[in-house]
Amino acid sequence: MANSRLGELTQWSIKRTKKNLAVVAVCLILIIFSCSLLPDSSPSSIKHTDPLTLHSDYVDLTLLRNAKHKGAFCLDGSLPGYHFKKGFGSGSNNWLLHIEGGGWCDTIASCSLRKATALGSSDHMERQVLFSGILSNDPMQNPDFYTWNKVKIRYCDGASFSGHPESEFHNGTNLFFRGQLIWEALMEELLSLGLSNAKQALLSGCSAGGLATMIHCDDFGELLPKDTTVKCLADASFFLDEKDVSGMLTMRSFYQNVVQLQGLAKSLPKDCVAKMKSSECLFPKEIIKSIKTPFFLVNPAYDSWQILNVLAPAASDPHGNWLRCKNNIHNCNPSEMVILQGFRNSLLNALSDFEKNKEWGMFINSCFIHCQTWLTETWHGPNSPKIDNKSIAESVGDWYFDRETVKRIDCPFPCNPSCFNQNLA
């Protein structure tokens, strides 16, 4: 079973396990992968500071008004939600959408557990969230997009907004696989709020939300006027189809289960699905081949989530030999670093075609982290990660507004002292 090889405990999971190991252990076998990273969880090595968050706003949750009519429900049948901050001044007709991340669920059991969290139900979502990083209204934090209309899209379907109701099980599980319908209902509502008049638009997302951005990027552009400047950005979303440290294709098996359970094939690139397994078409390397809209990738070469869950999942390392390394890259021994450098090389090789596209941009730093655009400290600040003395925000702005071609690829770890590196221990 694929899930026997998947996932890694986060700090939250570990604390719960200590409290009630006997109960949690059985559940973890089923859900460890999809719940290994809570959405928008601040890296333990990064702490918000008052000066940087002073001007950021808390924004209320809005439930989709047209969701019930469209049959667009979260996993538990609740209404999907989003947070909307209206633009002002020069940004009044510009829109930035950001899809939050949070993994996937690939079995009835893991989706059933997920529906009791904010990742599967709006009943459990915070009623307000802080808009920071790429969503900030502070020009010091977000110099190019602070005046724009900004939307944070909450993620509650467990399949990157790509599931279809035809795959639902009507056997008493009460699960709704409606990701595609949520996306369509959300776009309809945002268009009615002014998105239809957008002069400039940027669709972005982190982790599983970034994967959703890849899947829906061209669809998003087709909804807007022909003269709208439309571009897309994915943060920490270039998931690799790589063997783990025991030689197993863990991620491929997991994606196969997600695609089959929630019926994702209809949302994936048609030319890809026609010639290969639909589960392989969920990998970004295949998705980007069909994207026509200008695209930007922000990705750490040593993505902490992928090292935890793709390269060295717990089941591939039963004796815990990788535990110290995958919790803190500074603890990796020379032989482990050789494997990590190989993982970095696999990422760069997978991006070779992406790099050749003149309209596309990238910021690949040598940090051990996951998701950098939504955090002020990593998006733009005096101590944020930089390549060629440019922050992620400056690089994205240079690319979006065609100020320069942006193909920034960092040197290998540990060359960049500006990195925020997570400590997951």
In sequence order, what are the beta bridge partners of 151?
A: 84, 97
Q: Which among 112, 370, 380, 410 is annotated as catalytic?
A: 370
Instruction: From residue 95, give the alpha-carbon distance in Å to each of 311, 384, 413.
Output: 36, 25, 35
Nearest to 323 by CA among 1, 14, 15, 2: 14
CATH of 2-409 given 3.40.50.1820, 1.10.3720.10, 3.40.50.1950, 3.30.70.1280: 3.40.50.1820
Q: For strand 295-303 and strand 361-369, is the pairing parallel, antiparallel, or unpaired? A: parallel
For the chain, give the longest Cα–Cα distance. 59
Q: What is the pLDDT of residue 168?
A: 85
Buried b (16+ CB within 10 A) or exposed e, 356-378: eeeebbbbbbbbbbbbbbbbbbb
| 354 contact partners, CB below 8 Å, separation of at least 6 | 288, 295, 297, 360, 362
Cα dihedral 162/369/306/158 (nearest 10): -20
Tell me whether residue 303 is one of the annotated catalytic residues.
Answer: yes
Q: Is 98 helix (H, G, I), strand (E, B) or coil?
A: strand
d(CA 199, CA 138): 21
Domain boundaries in the chain?
2-409
Residue with tokens 């000066």: 51
**How far apart, in Å, do the first and last CA atoms of the chain sit?**
28
Q: What is the pLDDT of residue 425?
A: 84
Q: Is 113 helix (H, G, I), strand (E, B) or coil?
A: helix
Given a cut of 70, the residues of the chain with pLDDT beneath it are: 1-56, 170-171
- pLDDT tens for 30-78 read 343 444 434 343 343 444 433 334 444 899 999 999 999 999 999 999 9
Q: Which among 13, 36, 132, 207 is annotated as catalytic?
A: 207
Tell me whether residue 370 is one of the annotated catalytic residues.
Answer: yes
Residue with tokens 């047209």: 66
d(CA 125, CA 245): 36
d(CA 425, CA 410): 26
Question: Which token pair is 160?
Answer: 């990157």
Q: Is 34 helix (H, G, I), strand (E, B) or coil?
A: coil
Question: Which token pair is 107?
Answer: 């079995």
Q: Angle, nearest 10°, between helix axes 208-223 and 179-192?
A: 50
Instruction: From residue 187, give the alpha-carbon distance in Å to each of 66, 225, 421.
Output: 11, 14, 36
d(CA 385, CA 391): 6
Q: For strand 94-99 and strand 149-153, is the pairing parallel, antiparallel, or unpaired? A: parallel
Question: Which token pair is 180?
Answer: 């595609």
Q: What is the pLDDT of residue 355?
A: 87
Output DSSP code: residue 366. Answer: E
Q: What is the pLDDT of residue 171?
A: 64
Q: Which among 303, 380, 384, 395 is annotated as catalytic?
A: 303
Q: What is the pLDDT of residue 170?
A: 67
